[in-house]
Structure 1
């Protein structure tokens, strides 16, 4: 269980019409499509970095999503307590990426200035733009800010040597991706800058976005960040479950990315 650098933790799933997912398969109004939900765990030096915190059980019920395992319970089964997480990178404040923030009492949270401004500003007066946000998650982020536990970033930044964040935007105005380069391997956690791998191949776009052009420009950025031999991990692709090995048969929810 010690021979890993980056894990994708599969915590939730849902079946939705492909028209809602931006996928083409027969009649987009009728055909079902599967979307998977992940958080990511990075071990780098003496630090344990969690990328996103998943949706809460309450949001899962409200939105008709299936929580397969609570992210905190998944960590516990990996032998990791929530209090041992040193850093949490919030790629963006959507409900499925920023729930459960209060469950990590010792972590420093990394968030883009633009994302906080977006999730608490005038854009949230519009139903379509606020739909993927959960007010409780946003309020939790504000509470963490007032307690001095949010490190805000204005564009690209460094968490520690070899671990960087990169502002992409598009899907949400302050969406950031995470790049690990330990000198041997490169892993780019795309989160919702790339929902499904096939989007990159055809310049397709998930139908919910803040800026269409920024989504497409983000694909170019992802290619540059991963380079010719790096691992680029999409945020919701079922193929992640078959493309990467499980940590062990008993821990099939944890996929080893590196």
Structure 2
């Protein structure tokens, strides 16, 4: 019997100067304001602590004029978890807002799609448009982890732990992967940027930063299947609605529990 996990969303930044044109290729109201939240996700069974994505830090926020609200590694302390206690980090893809601070988890092993590593270090990074969501130092940090033997590469589907699997989706980046997590209330799919917002996958509206539109659109079906067809158990990567749909944890104001179901 697979392990059942508790799943938490931890918000570390937000960007409210965006429009719907920044979120959807096809939209009837492209100039309307459309905010974005930035999360990392903690999976815990009471013994092991597994982090999905690492966010970005203050320096990266300044460089991109996207300041953070709190340090993602320190924000874990709201759940009585330290960065040192994280034994596994799943990186959904190597974009700056998902793979900064890779040096903050000294005891962790990292899980990444093989094709994402190749994409982030290959000839596509010579093109400024494809390079834009990546930060060279973050990618170099992952290369250092490869050389120190701390990276597990996956080719498509793979198991990370009992009750936790990764699945290549592609689309937004070449090696984007979603995470399927077994919980007491059924399987949950952390879609990450396979669907930035609920609206992306529910209305099949692609996000503008895309390597392969076909992979992105087909990915909308994959993430739903990973949640056993239950669309309410698909968690998008950046949607502020997550804060309305799931119960807040404690008094910090930046943690929500996902495995207990919608409120």
Q: Say yes or no: does 1:195 pair with 2:193.
A: no
Cα-Cα RMSD:
1.5
- State whether residues 57 and 72 of structure 2, in contact with CA within 8 Å, keep that contact through their aligned partners in structure 1: no
**Stretch of structure 1 that moved more, 129-138 or 12-21:** 12-21
How far apart in 1 are the matches of 2:203 and 2:226? 19
Alignment of 1:14-163 (within 5 A): 14-15=15-16, 16-22=18-24, 24=27, 26=29, 28=30, 30-44=31-45, 46-163=47-164
* Post-superposition CA distance 1:161-190 (Å, at most 9, x none): 211110111100110110012464211100
Q: Which residue of 2 aligns with 1:254?
A: 255
Contact 2:90/2:111 (CA < 8 Å) preserved in 1?
yes
Cα shift readout 1:104-128 (whole Å, capped 9, x = no counterpart): 0000000110000000000001111
User: Does structure 1 retain, via aligned residues, the 8 Å contact 2:94–2:116?
Assistant: yes
Structure 2 SS opposite 1:252: coil
TM-score computed with the length of structure 1 as normaliser? 0.93
Structure 1 residue 241: Cα displacement: 1.1
What residue ranges of structure 1 are gaps of 5+ in the alignment?
none
Tell me the TM-score normalized by structure 2: 0.92
**Match for residue 185 of structure 1?**
186
Q: Are the aligned partners of 1:18 and 1:25 in contact in 2 as well (CA < 8 Å)?
A: no
Query: Structure 1 residues 45 and 74, CA, compared in 2 at 3 Å: closer, same or farther?
Result: closer
* Runs of at least 4 residues off by over 4 Å: none
Change (3 A) 1:45 1:247: closer
What is the rounded CA distance, in whole Å, between the counterparts of 1:182 and 1:194 in structure 2?
21
- Residue 240 of structure 2: aligned partner: 238
